[in-house]
Structures are given as C-alpha cells and as structure tokens.
C-alpha cells in the first residue's frame, strides 16, 4: 500500500485549486483536502475552468491522483433538523450546488458532518439526513458523499458505527455513500484507538471496510469518551504518536490520510502550519518535538 498523506489546505477565490495544490506540494504531501469557501458560511464563488485544468495538469506531473483529493462541506449544513423547512431546503440546495462545484473541480469526494439533532430525536434526525441526501443525489449526477465519524458533542449524529449504518441503510443509491473516519472524533466518541483493528472488525461486519474512503488524522486534547472534539498536533495529545502511526500504516484501509491538526500559535500573527513537519514525521515514522 502506498502512503497517501496530506492535510487540510486553503482555497481562495483567486488561486482556487491551483493554490490549494501548491500549498499541499509545499508540505511534500501527495494529497490534500479543501473547503470550496469559508468553513462557517455558505458564500461561494464561481469555479474557474482554466485554473482547474492547470491544477489537474500539475497534479499529474506530481503524481497526485485527483481521486485522493477530498472536499469538505461547510460545518453549518445540518440535515438533522426539519422544524424549519425553509432552512432544511436551503441546506439541500446549497449542498446540491456544493456537489456540482466538486464536479467542476474534477473531484469526486466530499466529506459531510451528518448533522446535530437539536429540535428532534436522533432517530428522526437520521431520517431527515437520509431524506436530504437522497434528494441531493437525485439532482446531481456525480460526487460521492463521505459521512464523517463524529465526536458525539451535544446532539451530534454519527458518533458510532450503528448511527452511521442507520443513515447508510436509508440511502437509495448506496454506490455514492461512504464514511470518513477521524481519529480525534473516534477517541472523543469513546473508542480506544489502541484497539483500532477491533473497531475495523466491527465496522467491516456492519458497514464494510471498503466504505472507508478517508481518515482524518488528528491527536486529541481530551480523554477517550470526552465528547469534546478538540484536535491536537500528532504526538501532543492523548492518542499518542505511535497509536496514530499504527492507524496511518494500517494495511486494511487503502485511502487518503488527511491531517486537520491545529496551526502553531493559532490566532496569532506568527501562526504557522504544522503540516510539513507532521508529514515528515509520519513518513520517517519518528516523532520530533517541533512545537516550543
């Protein structure tokens, strides 16, 4: 198995996919993940065809397979609640457009946080999510959706294999629905990642291991089962570098590994990306204490 490793990178309206790719290359990554705009808003620009073509040429030169490049939907989409029908439909339309944007970018995978059931039960939330996705799939020809394994913060849906399975079971076109694991989320949801293979056994039995199309690699600031969702740099959190390495190099899952660890000095003027060092540490299988 070839290691496919990258990180979350920025996507600007001027440089678009080419800017994202160049950032990834500067980290010596062979894949990357992007948001097509702000993570917190649904404001989106037009995808420039020329830039996209150029980016795909450069990907080819650098042996980056576009099938390994991941898009992430903005956090504010929430298909779980349906008490406000107007909002629910807005999210459906926005996500439909988002899938069309993926298609315009020549990328075929988008990660989605399933949703948070704040005005209904989780059971109803699961039905609402599946209904929305079925509608989106009917109106878009391509693009696969990867449901992210969540930390179980508040009323978040998708923090167990069974909840993800419950959504997938209700999806009409099963060829377009997949799962994205997230090591921080799994830890916070209550899974001891020292027993990752046992988790995979259960996942394989209930959903199928081939449904895992991406893994977010993050350490966690909190203990197992904290239901918090605060990412840490690899080797600095409670999961540990060695446990994360075992997951990264696990031969049973053949899919991209994407870092979403926090910037060093985040929010300050000298904030810097940790991804180049973290990718190097992962490739060398050796932890280096690079954060003062």
Please give the residue ranges that form the binding site for Zn ion (CB under 5 A).
229
Closer CB to Zn ion, residue 18 or residue 157?
157
Cα angle: 274, vertex 279, 281; to 5 degrees: 95
Closer CB to Fe ion, residue 111 or residue 117?
111
Binding mask 192-221 for Fe ion (x = CB under 5 A): ------------------------x-----
Binding mask 118-157 for Fe ion (x = CB under 5 A): ------------------------------x---------
Closer CB to Fe ion, residue 130 or residue 179?
179
Q: How far is the CB of 99 from Zn ion (least distance, A)?
A: 22
Closer CB to Fe ion, residue 52 or residue 263?
263
**Residue 57 is encoded by which pair of tokens?**
């040429």
Report the alpha-carbon distance of residue 224 to residue 77 in Å, rounded: 27
3-state secondary structure of 158: coil
Q: How far is the CB of 159 from Zn ion (least distance, A)?
A: 11
Closer CB to Zn ion, residue 48 or residue 148?
148
**Residue 193 is encoded by which pair of tokens?**
């990642």
Number of residues that bind Fe ion (CB under 5 A): 3
Residue number, nearest CB to Zn ion: 229
Report the alpha-carbon distance of residue 115 to residue 80 in Å, rounded: 5
- Alpha helices, DSSP H, located in the chain: 16-26, 49-61, 85-104, 122-139, 161-169, 183-189, 196-206, 241-248, 275-284
Query: How far from chain centre, in Å, is Cα 91?
Result: 18
- Angle formed by the axes of helices 49-61 and 16-26, to 10°? 30
Closest CA to 7 of 23, 18, 16, 17: 23
Q: How far is the CB of 189 from Zn ion (least distance, A)?
A: 11
Q: Binder to Fe ion among 108, 182, 188, 229 (CB under 5 A)?
A: 182
229 binds, among Zn ion, Fe ion, none (CB under 5 to 8 A by kind): Zn ion
Dihedral pair phi/psi, residue 156, rounded to 5°: -55, 135
Task: Select the span of 61-69, 78-86, 138-146, 174-182 touching Fe ion (CB under 5 A).
Answer: 174-182
Q: How far is the CB of 141 from Fe ion (least distance, A)?
A: 25
- Verify binding: residue 231, Fe ion, rule CB under 5 A: no
Closer CB to Fe ion, residue 18 or residue 160?
160
SS (H, E, C) 82-145: CCCHHHHHHHHHHHHHHHHHHHHCCCCEEEECCEECCCCCHHHHHHHHHHHHHHHHHHCCCCEE
Closer CB to Zn ion, residue 163 or residue 229?
229
Could you list the residues that contact Fe ion (CB under 5 A)?
148, 182, 216
């Amino acid at each position: 198995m070839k290691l496919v490793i990258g990180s979350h990178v920025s996507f600007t309206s001027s440089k678009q996919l080419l800017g994202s790719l160049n950032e990834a290359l500067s980290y010596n990554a062979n894949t990357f993940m992007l948001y097509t705009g702000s993570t917190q808003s649904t404001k989106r620009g037009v995808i420039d065809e020329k830039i996209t073509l150029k980016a795909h040429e450069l990907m080819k030169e650098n042996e980056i397979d576009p099938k390994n490049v991941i898009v992430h939907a903005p956090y504010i989409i929430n298909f779980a609640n349906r008490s406000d029908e107007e909002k629910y439909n807005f999210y459906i339309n926005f996500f439909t457009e988002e899938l069309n944007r993926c298609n315009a970018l020549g990328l075929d995978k988008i990660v989605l946080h399933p949703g948070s059931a704040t005005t209904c039960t989780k059971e109803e939330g699961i039905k609402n999510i599946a209904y929305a996705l079925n509608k989106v799939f009917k109106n878009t020809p391509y693009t696969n959706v990867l449901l992210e394994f969540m930390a179980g913060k508040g009323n978040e849906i998708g923090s167990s294999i069974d909840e993800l399975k419950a959504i997938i079971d209700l999806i009409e076109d099963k060829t377009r629905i997949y799962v994205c694991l997230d090591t921080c989320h799994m830890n916070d949801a209550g899974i001891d990642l020292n027993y990752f293979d046992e988790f995979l056994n259960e996942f394989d039995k209930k959903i199928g291991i081939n449904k895992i199309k991406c893994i977010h690699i993050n350490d966690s600031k909190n203990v197992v089962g904290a239901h918090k969702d605060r990412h840490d740099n690899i080797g600095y959190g409670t999961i540990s570098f060695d446990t994360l390495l075992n997951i990264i190099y696990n031969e049973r899952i053949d899919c991209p590994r994407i870092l979403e660890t926090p910037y060093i000095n985040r929010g300050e003027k000298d904030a810097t990306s940790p991804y180049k060092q973290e990718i190097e540490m992962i490739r060398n299988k050796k932890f280096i204490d690079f954060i003062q």
